[in-house]
């Protein structure tokens, strides 16, 4: 009886482990797809797509941090210096009233508009490959990427990575892994 119970327990555990593995792999495969889409959209200049793949909570926090730093700078009499960091933003006070995602989209679009054409072309011609991924915890993963610029820029690919979070059933980019 004990041997049958032990055999049943081992078999049942193996079945559950086997059934759980494809779901975990699919989750990481989804994280890899999102990471690749994110990095590719950043390089190709699809600003809306890249920010839609980021965790909104992170964008909200980053904008909140900017607001706090700006308020502090103004109290110190250094508001103009702080605004100078956002040289492509016509009116920082108005821009900070936008929702976080729209705020960052506006900044990146203006920065890209002022970027040299050859830099933008090199970014568009850069290749992105997923080289691996792993779970950090139940809701966090790291996706490793190989970024290969055009040969005219560099012969050496760069290893990079993104930290992803699973939020409401979808993988979102949190930050660079470095």
Is residue 148 pLDDT above 60, yes or no?
yes
Q: Is the pLDDT of residue 103 over 70?
A: yes
pLDDT mean over 120-136:
93
Q: What is the mean pLDDT of residues 22-40?
A: 82
CA-to-CA distance for 174 and 80, rounded, in angstroms? 30
Residue 5 has pLDDT above 60, yes or no: no
Mean per-residue pLDDT of the chain: 85
pLDDT in tens, 158-177: 999 999 999 888 999 999 99
Average pLDDT value for residue range 118-123: 89
The encoded tokens of residue 138 equal 């139940």
Picking from 52, 34, 53, 36, the residue whose alpha carbon sits closest to that of residue 126 is 36
pLDDT in tens, 73-101: 999 999 999 999 998 898 999 999 999 99
Q: How many CB atoms lie within 10 A of CB 98?
A: 14
76: exposed, middle or buried (C-beta count within 10 Å: 0-12, 13-18, 19+)?
exposed
Taking alpha carbons only, the member of 26, 8, 25, 50 closest to residue 172 is: 50
Residue 141 in this model has a pLDDT that exceeds 90: yes
Burial 27-47 (b: 16+ CB within 10 A, else e): bbebbbebbbbbbbbbbbeeb
- Give residue 151's pLDDT band: very low, low, confident or very high (50, 70, 90): confident
Token pair 């970027």 is at which residue? 115
Average pLDDT over residues 140-155: 90
Instruction: Please give the backbone phi and psi of residue 164, each rounded to the nearest 5 degrees, phi first.
Output: -120, 150
**What is the share, in percent, of the chain residues with pLDDT greater than 90?**
66
Domain architecture of the chain: domains with CATH:
25-176 (3.10.450)
* Predicted pLDDT at 154: 81
């Amino acid at each position: 009886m004990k041997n049958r119970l032990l055999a049943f327990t081992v078999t049942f555990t193996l079945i559950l482990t086997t059934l759980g593995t494809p779901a975990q792999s699919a989750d990481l495969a989804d994280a890899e797809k999102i990471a690749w889409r994110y990095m590719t959209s950043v390089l190709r200049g699809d600003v809306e797509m890249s920010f839609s793949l980021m965790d909104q909570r992170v964008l909200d926090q980053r904008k909140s941090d900017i607001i706090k730093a700006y308020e502090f700078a103004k109290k110190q009499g250094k508001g103009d210096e702080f605004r100078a960091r956002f040289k492509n933003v016509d009116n920082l006070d108005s821009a900070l009233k936008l929702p976080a995602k729209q705020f960052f989209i506006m900044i990146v679009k203006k920065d890209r508009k002022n970027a040299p054409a050859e830099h933008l072309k090199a970014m568009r011609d850069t290749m992105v490959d997923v080289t691996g991924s792993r779970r950090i915890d139940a809701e966090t993963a790291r996706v490793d990427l190989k970024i290969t610029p055009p040969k005219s820029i560099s012969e050496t690919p760069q290893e990079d990575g993104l930290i992803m979070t699973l939020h409401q059933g979808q993988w979102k980019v949190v930050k660079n892994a470095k």
